[in-house]
Structure 1
Amino acid sequence: MHDERTAPQRIRMTGLQEAQLPALVALEQACTAMYHDIGFDAAEVPARTLSDLVALTRQHDVRVAEVDHEVVGYLAWRDEAPGVAYLEELSVHPDHQRRGIATRLIEELRERARELGMQQIVLRSWERASWAQAFYRKAGFARLGDDAPAEVRAWRSERDASGRPLTRPGEVILWATIAPKPSEEPGDGDFGAS
C-alpha cells in the first residue's frame, strides 16, 4: 500500500485551547465513525461533544496535535494512584493516521509523565479495533497480566477494589513502561569547565 499524502511539514503539540474545540468535535465524530463502521453502536463508542471535551479538562491533561496549523489529534491522560499515567483517550483523525502523529502524542505523554516521576502508562482499548491494537503493540504496550510491573498490578488492585468493573465487555487493559530520560554524556553542555 503506497501513501500518496504529503508528509506533514510541522507537527506541533499544545495544551487544549478554546479555539481548537470545534475541530476536536469534528475529529471525535470522524474517529468514532471508524468504530461504528466495524459494528460498535453509539452507546458503546459515543463521540465526545463540546461539553464532554471541556469536562475532560477538569481531571485530565489534554494535549492537541496540529499538523501544518490543522488540529488532527489529541490525547487526554491523568495521574492515577499509585503513580501511573492513565491514558483516557488517544485519537487521530482518520485522514491523518499512519503519519506518526499518534506516536508523537504518546511521546508527549511519556515526557510529561516522566517529568512527574511516573514509570508506567495504562489504558483501555477495544480488542476488535485492530488498528488500535496494532498501534499500541508497535508503541511497546502489552496486555495486562501477572507479569506486569508492581505499580501496574497495584493500579489494577486499587481499581478492582473500587467495586466498578475495570473494563467493559470487549475491552482490554494495556500497559507500557516509560523509559527514563537518556542521561547527558559527560561533558555535554560543559563548555569551559575544567
Structure 2
Amino acid sequence: MTERPARRDDLATLQSIELAAGELFREIGMTTVAEHPPPALQVLEHFQQDGRAWVSVDAEDRPIGFVLVELIDGAAHIEQVSVHPAHARKGLGRALIDHVDGWAAARDLPGLTLSTFRTVPWNAPYYARLGFRELADEELTPGLRGVLAAEAALGLDPADRVCMRREVASLGR
C-alpha cells in the first residue's frame, strides 16, 4: 500500500470509502453519523485541486483510504481520514497521517490537529496511540472552536467531541 495525491477521477471512490467507513458507526448505535452523507464532489475537488487530499491505494492504484487537510490557525488540521473497512487495521490510517506530518513539516507547520469522538474506540483512543493529545479548553484556538461549533450545529454532541493535537514529528528532518 502506498500514498499519493488524490486525483479528480478518485473523488467518487472517496465518497464510497466514506460511506463504507460510516457503517461502523451504525454498529455502535450512532445511526445519525452513519447516515451523514459523504462530502460533496465539489468539496472533495476543492481539497484535491488545492493539494490537500491524499489517498492510500492498493496494488492496482485504487484508493482504499484517504485524508483531507485544512489549514487552521497555523496547523495542518485533519478534516477527515477514512479507510475502507475491508482494508482496516493494516496501518493505512497511520500511514496517511504520517504522510500529512511530512507535508506539514515541509511547510514549517508545527502541529497536526483534528476533532473526533471522545469515546469511539477508533477515534480519540486511536489518535492518542498515534501521539495526539486532547487539548484543554484554554488551548483551543479560534479556528478549532469554530470547528466544534460547526459540528454542534450539525447535531454532534459537544460532550462527546474533542480536539486533539500532536507536534509535527518530522519537523527538522
**Shorter-chain TM-score: which interval?**
0.7 to 0.9
Shift of 1:167: 5.2
% identity of equivalent residues? 21
Checking the alignment, whether the CA contact within 8 Å between 1:60 and 1:78 is kept in structure 2 is no
Check 1:111–1:96 CA distance in 2 against 1; reply closer, same or farther (3 A cut).
Answer: same
Q: Does 1:94 align with 2:85?
A: yes
Q: 1:83-104: per-residue Cα shift (whole Å, max 9, x none)? A: 1111100101111111011111
- Identify which of 8, 19, 29 aligns with 2:9: 19
Aligned to 1:103: 94
Give 1:103's aligned amino acid.
Answer: R
Structure 2 unmatched ranges of 5 or more = none
Q: Which residue of 2 aligns with 1:6?
A: none
Larger radius of gyration: 1
Partner of 1:140: 131
State which drifts further: 108-117 or 161-170: 161-170
**Higher helix residue share:** 2
Query: Does 1:77 find its partner at 2:61?
Result: no
Distance in 2 (alpha carbons) for counterparts of 1:123 and 1:92: 16
What 5-or-longer segments of structure 1 have no aligned partner? Answer: 1-10, 184-194
Compared CA separation, residues 115 and 25, structure 1 to 2 (3 A): same
- For residues 1-194 of structure 1, the aligned pairs below 5 Å read 11-42=1-32, 45-57=36-48, 61-69=52-60, 70-81=62-73, 83-145=74-136, 153=139, 156-159=140-143, 165=149, 168=152, 169=157, 170-181=160-171, 183=173
**TM-score in terms of structure 2 length:** 0.81
Alpha-carbon spacing, 1:36–1:46, altered in 2? closer, same or farther (3 Å)? farther
Q: Deviations over 1:142-185 (max 9, x none)?
A: 11127x9xxxx3xx2323776972753221111111124465xx
Q: What is the CA deviation profile of residues 53-104 of structure 1, one whole-angstrom value per residue up to 9, with x for unaligned ones? A: 33444667011110212311000012222x1111100101111111011111
Q: Is the 8 A contact 1:73 1:102 kept in 2?
A: yes
Find the aligned partners of 1:142 and 1:78 in 2 and give their Cα distance.
Answer: 19
1:79–1:162 CA distance, 2 compared to 1 (3 A): closer
Query: With structure 1 as the length reference, what TM-score do the two structures score?
Result: 0.73
| Aligned residue type for 2:90 | R
